[in-house]
A and B are shown apart, each in its own frame.
Chain A
Amino acid sequence: DTGVSQDPRHKITKRGQNVTFRCDPISEHNRLYWYRQTLGQGPEFLTYFQNEAQLEKSRLLSDRFSAERPKGSFSTLEIQRTEQGDSAMYLCASSQSGSTDTQYFGPGTRLTVL
């Protein structure tokens, strides 16, 4: 399977705990994006990597959020001291820079903070 994969698919945690999500992009894609989707809304941009460089971060990404893409391949998104408002679907997408730069999404990680 050459699609975008995310792990875990579901995560339930207690308020105040730290969580980490992983995204494996399509292998030849140099761009990787994280989005967050809450119930009844479309995805909202969080952050973007080109290769290993994090080039843009949304103001939605508070100090409790950090993302890495150490070798320009997989990426991790960590949330520290989770809050109930962090409950959402976290989506990863990848693309190859070019004329249309179409983004392909993974299945997402559903986070529930109790």
Chain B
Amino acid sequence: TQLLEQSPQFLSIQEGENLTVYCNSSSVFSSLQWYRQEPGEGPVLLVTVVTGGEVKKLKRLTFQFGDARKDSSLHITAAQPGDTGLYLCAGDDSGGYNKLIFGAGTRLAVHP
């Protein structure tokens, strides 16, 4: 069974701080996606990483896919209150139907 573990579960920081959240698995994924979810809403896609070792930047957010395609990280520089939300990583299970296996998420709160 493929599992994705996210850490930390909760993160409460002050505006301007940097942070990193992690997504780890013992399984290899053909691709991995990061989503952000607001309360009562569906997940919104931030990025898809496909190649081992890949680094993608989205403004203050930097995403990295591990060389072995088993893990990923999300780094936020100079966090802002608007970054508050649930960050979910999801792996493509490669079973042919591309169903996603989600981690439980990291709930981030950025205080002014």
Contacts and interface: CB of A to CB of B under 8 A. Distances in A.
Q: Do A and B bind each other?
A: yes
Interface of A: 4, 6, 31, 33, 35, 40-45, 48, 50, 55-56, 91, 93, 95, 97, 100-108, 110
Q: Looking at chain B, what size class is its interface with the partner chain? A: 20 to 34
B72 interface: no
A106 B98 contact: no
Contact of A44 (B45, B98, B102): B102
Contact of A48 (B31, B44, B97, B102): B97
B78 to A, nearest CB: 27
19 contacts: A31-B98, A33-B99, A40-B104, A41-B105, A42-B102, A42-B105, A43-B43, A43-B90, A43-B102, A48-B99, A56-B97, A56-B99, A91-B42, A97-B98, A102-B45, A104-B45, A105-B35, A105-B43, A106-B42
